[in-house]
Structure 1
Amino acid sequence: MIRKKYSSDYKIHQSLDKNGRIKKEAEYTGTKYRFALPKEARLPRAGRLFAAGVLGWAAYLLPLATRNYLSSVIFCILPHVCAAIPLWLFLYSLFQARFGQEPLFREKADKISGRLYYGALATAVLSALAVLGSLAWILFMAHGNFVAGDILFLICDCYLLLLSGVVFYLRDLCKMEAA
């Protein structure tokens, strides 16, 4: 299904098949896009950031798999759990920047460039909220009653915050231009 925003990029051809049914085929007639950075500059950076993003998923899942008290504190676990969707969005963009084939249609180019920006920004905000909540709980509410898993939770969210900040800073990696 073609979204309304991109319908002007396609031309619909109708033909009859051998059974007499009308067959519609869409042909892309719009502008094709490519990455603004040359391949030699883009691929190493995108590869390193993609590897860091995979480690980010490990940092996301590790606090959920260990025993800690912060997983039961709503203002710590809620931002951490909600960070999964934007983390996936910017990891998808980094995957496409590393392994994607050019030229790209406008819809795909918009997805890649937009998801990196918003995904990194949303992950940074949510992981910062989780870090602040974790620090507040450890410093003011735990009364010295915390385990190593709580510190691991805090370290993993700090890594997610650092990773999303670096990805947001290097967001020109997925900038597109007309081919």
Structure 2
Amino acid sequence: MTVSLGACATSTPYQSAEVAGQQFGYQSEQIAADRYRVSFSGNEVTARETVEEYLLYRAAELTRQKGYDGFYVVREQTEADIDIDTLPTTYPGWAPGWRYYNADFGWGVYNPLGGTPFPAARISASDQYSASAVIEMYRGNAPASAEDTFDASAVLARLGDYVEMPEG
């Protein structure tokens, strides 16, 4: 009897990637007194929506930590790192060839590459998302000229139940 145990892949929790050894999670960089670059990177099983929500949550959390009421997004982007693997299968696949008829031998197939047909391939793709934004924080009411404004406390309240914190 053979028992096989595999590691269950889980979504990236809401955690700092700035801690030594962490490849996935959030990062924050101050670029002006009230302006920050915030990013969140997820592993291959973290959905794009989760990455973008965790980015928004981090921006709100950072805004409150710095003593501001809200923020607006100056610039944002989400990137996908798509990894495509081609794996051979065990059954024969397609190969170039021409059927021909020979009066002495009947029907045959000519393969210009020789040998047996190429094995078919199974394609496996995995996406890994990362999102980043430059945010500007404000106190009191949002600036009239600002688009995409967020009340930090409202964002934390709305997303707080959906944010998965790391174990331990």
TM-score by length of 1: 0.23
User: Which has a greater percent of strand?
Assistant: 2
Larger Cα-atom Rg: 2
